[in-house]
Structure 1
Amino acid sequence: MENPLRTPLTRRGLLRAGAGASLAVVGLGYGAQSAAAAVSETARFDLSQPSYDLFRDKSLHSVRVQQSFAFDSVNKRLFVAAKRSGSAEEAGDLCISHLDFQGNYISYMHLNGFGHGVAFGVSPSGSSSYLWVEADANANGYGTKLARIKYVAGTTLDSSDASIVKYAPIAGASEYTCSIDPVYNRMIVRYHMNGAKHIAVYNLADANAGDFSNPLANFPQPSISGTAQGYTLYGSYMYFLTGNAYSSTNPDPGNTYLYSINVNTGQIVQGPTLTKAGSTLVYREPEGLAIYRTDAGESRLFLGFASGVEGDRRSSIFYKNDLV
């Protein structure tokens, strides 16, 4: 079956692909926004350009609203996180569904007591997919650590399992989530400290080795209004998603907005930008961002939405591919 993430290699695609050919990176700690760039400047997605469908209304193992999603770009897998069916909202119990790129359901894994699932990442190793997820959910259902676990279809893993190695990258932080840039091989971590959200960026190789001592950037998240629904990283730019489901007070076209943030300055460079992706969905709640590069070399920013009816929520995913 043809890979729907594969596109013909055009001159435009080659120009896009070339942006990731090499990076000269210098480690930099807290306060990176006021110093020389730690992450070499890259192209960014133009959030004002149209979005395109990957798929709509695909079933997950859980019938609850999806929270986020991530790609294994080596093994061509898509993972979608949702709250586990039947679990309390604050329990931190997640159901990870494995889909193919057409949105066909393949398998699941249950993660009990891990967290809310606002964002997660996938780090492939050989033919295996390792999920970087929050762990040790607090009383509010948000993870207080990060963990790297192997995806094993049809199994259940408890956050208290002694085999899980957990990390607290920032001293004094109380909650963590993360996302992975599979093109530039970096991890972005969003953490809570001193009553506010902060952002740190690491080389993925360092994170996979359990070394969080040398952040490439570390800054307070800029002020963004609305309900946070996901984030990811591509090169030197963080992407942030906000919004709520359609309702009588939030009718079509809704209030789903995108932002891009320069991780070297900690400043918003585009946004709030309204997106109408999936505007005709019956239920449309923004849930998750992720990055993928096609086999032909085209980088894409993917946007996720929960769709479907109560008791049978579905996954709908779209993408943007215009770089500036």
Structure 2
Amino acid sequence: MSGLQESAGQALSRRGLLKFGAGLAAATTAAGFAGGQARAAVPEGRFLLDTPSYNRLWKNPLHDVTVLQSLAFDNVNNHIYTAQVQSGSTTAKNGDLVITKLSLTGTKLGYMILKGFGHGVAIGVEPVGATAYLWTETDGASDGENAWGRKLARFRFVNGATRTTASAELTKYAPIAGATSLTCAIDPSTNRLIMRHRMNGQARFAVYLLDDLKAGRTDNKLYDFAEPLAVDLANFQGYTAYGNYVYTLDGHGYSTTNPPPGDTYVTSIDMRTGAQVERFLTQAGKSLDLREPEGMAIQLENGAPKLCFGLASGAAGARRASVFFKETLV
């Protein structure tokens, strides 16, 4: 196994460190209010995508044997949470998901079963002390093959528990009337929730202060923009956000028509304008079999941000999850 899977270069440039430090010390939006609450400081750094990627997890088993769909970090308690479609002949159509709780080194610490929630393209984690609250899609509607959430749900992670869309433990949110295929991610650097959804068939992103959304203040939306056309909508595989930028993942697993190094792209989007900033063909984990891109998240390690993305591998019935990260900021 090699930690470095892409072009040679410095993993974290001096310029990147300076930018990160400046972004935290002199936040671009430390002032300003929404719904009576101060907005979190927004770091100015952007991940440079044309840089090396490094390995965080390698061929890690999850609770179920299906491919990884998404991941998120609890940066307070140092855990990773993943989502998969539950194994079975009708689970994808039903929207049944499995959540796995892992240590940062990949040791399995627990799991949950979610019945009827959706496809799990993205999830969020909200640490509350030693407890983690998960944010996922819910109320999945089937297209005949897969199910896609119509609302968001917040609920506490409880090891071994099963939740249905009718469970009393769920708090549900539908911030945009008429939106479908709702998923979400949480930016731990700003405490913002980023919701990807569809309106009239078009993929869009909406950005909220997490506290505003929890309080029902859906009119305090920070940004709302269309997904750039360069992103492959048919093979969209995940997203996350750091500061003022959304990052997306798209591509296929290896096949006779998509041989190594594959067609996995990472794209950055400026949420203030909706404009695409950079799009990069990544070769991270190129030695993996299957190598299907799945899921993105931000890890804060000793305060330093890492742009993480997942890759599924292994044979059907024995899938494994690998996680890589980029850390160079500009």
Using structure 2 for the length normalisation, give the TM-score.
0.87
Whole-Å Cα distance in 2 between the matches of residues 20 and 44 of structure 1?
A: 13
* 2:323 is the alignment partner of 1:321: no
Show the counterpart of 1:130: 133
What is the CA distance between 1:11 and its match in structure 2?
9.5
Task: Note the alpha carbon deviations across 1:237-288, whole angstroms, 9 max, x for none.
Answer: 00011001001110110000011000011010111x1001100011200001
Q: Does 1:241 align with 2:249?
A: yes
Does the aligned pair in 1 maintain the 2:43–2:189 contact within 8 Å?
Answer: no
Give 5+ residue unaligned stretches, structure 2. Answer: 1-11, 35-40
Q: Is the 8 A contact 1:183 1:292 kept in 2?
A: no
Name 1:280's counterpart in structure 2.
287
The structure 1 residue matched to 2:122, chosen from 113, 119, 124, is 119
**Which residue identity is paired with 2:24?**
G
Aligned equivalent of 2:58: 56
The structure 2 residue matched to 1:65, chosen from 64, 67, 77, is 67
1:94-113 aligned at under 5 Å gives the runs: 94-113=97-116
Q: Distance in 1 between matches of 2:162 and 2:227?
A: 34
Offset at 1:126? 1.1
**Per-residue deviation, 1:89:** 1.8
Equivalence map 1:4-15=2 (5 Å): 13=17, 15=19
Q: Which amino acid aligns with 2:315?
A: V
**Which residue of structure 2 lines up, in the alignment, with residue 34 of structure 1?**
none
Deviations 1:199-247 (A, max 9, x none): 1111122223343221111112221343100011110000011001001
Could you list the per-position Cα deviations for residues 116-158 of structure 1 after superposition, in whole angstroms to 9, with x for gaps in the alignment? 0000100011111000100000023000000101100011111
CA contact (8 A) 1:145 1:176 kept: yes
Contact 2:192–2:210 under 8 Å retained in 1: yes
Task: Select the residue among 83, 86, 99 that pairs with 1:84.
Answer: 86
How much is the aligned-residue C-alpha RMSD, in angstroms? 2.1
Of 207, 211, 229, which residue of structure 2 is paired with 1:205? 211
Report the alpha carbon displacement of residue 40 of structure 1 after superposing the two structures with TM. Answer: 6.0
The 1:202/1:225 distance shift into structure 2, 3 A limit, reads closer
The alpha carbon displacement at 1:15 in A equals: 4.8
* Helix, strand or coil at the partner of 2:211: helix
Q: Check conservation: 2:150, 2:180, Cα contact below 8 A.
A: yes
Given that 1:17 and 1:298 are in contact with CA atoms closer than 8 Å, whether structure 2 keeps it comes out as: no
Partner of 2:6: none
The answer on whether the counterparts of 1:27 and 1:215 sit within 8 Å (CA) in structure 2 is no
Q: Aligned pair 1:93/2:89, yes or no?
A: no
| Equivalenced residues, count | 305
Compared CA separation, residues 247 and 18, structure 1 to 2 (3 A): same
Equivalent in the alignment of 1:229: 237
State which of 282, 291, 297 in structure 1 corresponds to 2:298. 291
Whole-Å separation in 2 of the counterparts to 1:183 and 1:305: 24
TM-score, normalised with respect to structure 1:
0.89
Q: Which range moved further: 155-164 or 274-283? A: 155-164
* In structure 2, C-alpha distance between the alignment counterparts of 1:56 and 1:159, rounded to whole Å: 33
AA aligned to 1:69 is L
Q: Deviations over 1:22-50 (max 9, x none)?
A: 3426579xxxxxxxxxx967210000001
Q: How has the CA–CA distance of structure 1 residues 13 and 304 changed in structure 2, closer, same or farther, with 3 Å as cutoff?
A: same
In structure 2, what is the Cα distance between the partners aligned to 1:18 and 1:208? 30
Alignment partner of 1:183: what SS? coil
3-state SS, counterpart of residue 108 of structure 1: strand
Distance in 2 (alpha carbons) for counterparts of 1:41 and 1:125 = 22
Aligned residues of 2:81 and 2:102 also touching (Cα < 8 A):
yes
User: More relative contact order in 1 or in 2 (CA 8 Å, sep 6+)?
Assistant: 1
Is the contact made by 2:85 and 2:119 (CA closer than 8 Å) also made in structure 1? yes
CA distance, structure 1, for counterparts of residue 42 and residue 309 of structure 2: 25
- Which residue of 1 is the match for residue 47 of structure 2? 45
1:160-182 deviation per Cα after TM superposition (whole angstroms, max 9, x unaligned): 22442211111221221000100
Residue in 2 aligned with 1:20?
24
Higher deviation after alignment, 182-191 or 14-23: 14-23
* Aligned residue runs from structure 1 range 150-169, under 5 A: 150-169=156-175
Q: Taking structure 1 as reference, are residues 108 and 78 closer, same or farther at Cα in structure 2, changes over 3 Å only?
A: same
Q: Is this contact kept in 2: 1:20–1:184, CA < 8 A?
A: no
Residue number in structure 2 paired with 1:215: 221
Contact 1:94 1:116 in 2 (8 A): yes
Equivalent residue in structure 2 for 1:251, among 231, 236, 259: 259
Comparing 79-88 with 147-156, greater Cα deviation is found at 79-88
Deviation per residue, 1:80-109 (Å, 9 max, x gap): 100112243211100000111111111110
Deviation at 1:317, TM superposition (A): 0.1
Call closer, same or farther: CA 1:19–1:281 in 2, change over 3 Å.
same
Q: What is the Cα deviation at residue 67 of structure 1?
A: 0.3
- 1:261 corresponds to which letter in structure 2? I
